Amino acid sequence: MVAERARRVEISGIRRMFESAPPNSINLGLGEPDFEPPREVVEAMCRSVQNGGNHYGPTAGILPLREHVAARYRRWERTTASANVIITASGSEALMSAALALYDPGDEVLIPNPGFVLYGPHAKLAGATPVPYSLIAAHKYQPDFDELERLVTPKTRAIVVNSPSNPTGGMFSPRSVDRLVAFADDHDLVIVSDEVYDEIVYEGEFVSFWGKSDRVVVVNSFSKTFAVTGWRLGFLVASPALAVELNKIHYHIMACPPTPAQVAIVAGYDAGRAATEKMVREFRARRDLVSRLLSGIPHLSVVRPVGAFYAFPELDLGVPARQVATDLLARGVITTPGDAFGSLGENHLRLSFATSRDRIRSGLERLRAYVEEAGAG
């Protein structure tokens, strides 16, 4: 009864864990800020809904919001204008629109392993074949260019990059970004750069792919930076020619992004960005706390996250991470098994530290007790 493409994809492992958790669990599973959006943004949302902003808007989004985004990206490429920007109904929709606009059936798409859960299924839904490339702790989660050269074929159409990364918390160095651009140019690949954590960085220099080549499509979102995951608002940045094609697909998926949310983000843009800075300061303190607590747990090693809000420890318990996550769930801690993000995540757990320091302390205390028991047995 259903199409082959529906049978080829599954709901992500992150959601499955969340939906089967006992009540009052400590949630180190879901990747969303535990902050409320800035007051100015919330008030503007209420005003927008009360004042009749409840109707369809332009497909590519309202102009003032596109202009705000363009101004932000002029940091990377000074000619960036609203014609480069499409507002989408979330980063997820932006990724899907990009996949359908860029990949043909039979194409191959290089995706990070481990990497965010949508890249592989989106490639498949577009009829393409995802080809995972490794990001490993021993290389501080930088790409291995020898491997990339081995994986690329005449069918390779695109490479998806995500820096800072969900799930690893790693970030590409400026040198990795330049080498990746050169690699993509050599092989005529489009770079789909998922930069939803670009403002959640603790150390090192974040470098956008925007402005590095004509064949870059940036995916971004207001979800994390404005703590509005439920509003579903994101955007794409691309060359005007690519933006026209992306916009067609975006139109056929969504017609237009949600109007009141866009009005609210415009009204609270400056306040929202100040709030992001405050939020990142708190995330940094939690990142330090998580790194310190994890370093005291046996059978576990971790690379200190430099961006996003995830730690991705590796366990050497001889127990698959999926089992560890299930056992922890029974102890009231939600985590995500690393294999939800690809085969190289197999012995890892993804721990989101977008939750209070107290909850982090109790969650990691339960993890420590579990690991000590499992390691002794």
Residues that bind ligand PLP (CB under 6 A): 31, 90-92, 116, 162, 166, 194, 196, 221, 223, 229, 234
Q: How far is the CB of 57 from ligand PLP (least distance, A)?
A: 18
User: Least CB distance from residue 369 to ligand PLP, whole Å?
Assistant: 29
Find the helix packing angle between 39-50 and 259-267, rounded to 10°.
140
Give whichever of 176 and 371 is closer to ligand PLP, judged by the CB atom: 176
From the number of C-beta atoms within 10 Å of its C-beta (0-12, 13-18, 19+), residue 180 rates as buried
**At closest approach, how far in Å is the CB of 291 from ligand PLP?**
20
Nearer to ligand PLP, 116 or 370 (CB): 116
Positive or negative torsion for Cα 326, 328, 333, 337: negative
Which are the contacts of 175, defined by CB distance < 8 A and separation ≥ 6? Answer: none
Q: What does the radius of gyration of the chain's CA atoms come to, in whole angstroms? A: 20
Name the residue nearer to ligand PLP (CB basis): 234 or 363: 234
Which CB sits closer to ligand PLP, 91 or 257? 91
For residue 311, give the 3-state DSSP assignment. Answer: strand
The one-letter code for the residue type at 281 is R
Question: Shortest distance, CB of residue 245 to ligand PLP, whole angstroms?
Answer: 21
Phi/psi zone of residue 165: left (φ > 0), alpha (ψ -120 to 50 degrees), beta? Answer: beta
Report the alpha-carbon distance of residue 277 to residue 310 in Å, rounded: 18
Residue nearest to ligand PLP (CB): 91
Closest distance of CB 267 from ligand PLP, Å: 20
Nearer to ligand PLP, 119 or 370 (CB): 119
Contact between 211 and 77 (Cβ < 8 Å): yes
Q: Which is nearer to ligand PLP, 226 or 370 (CB)?
A: 226
Minimum gap (Å) between residue 286 Cβ and ligand PLP: 17
And the tokens for 99? 């996949």
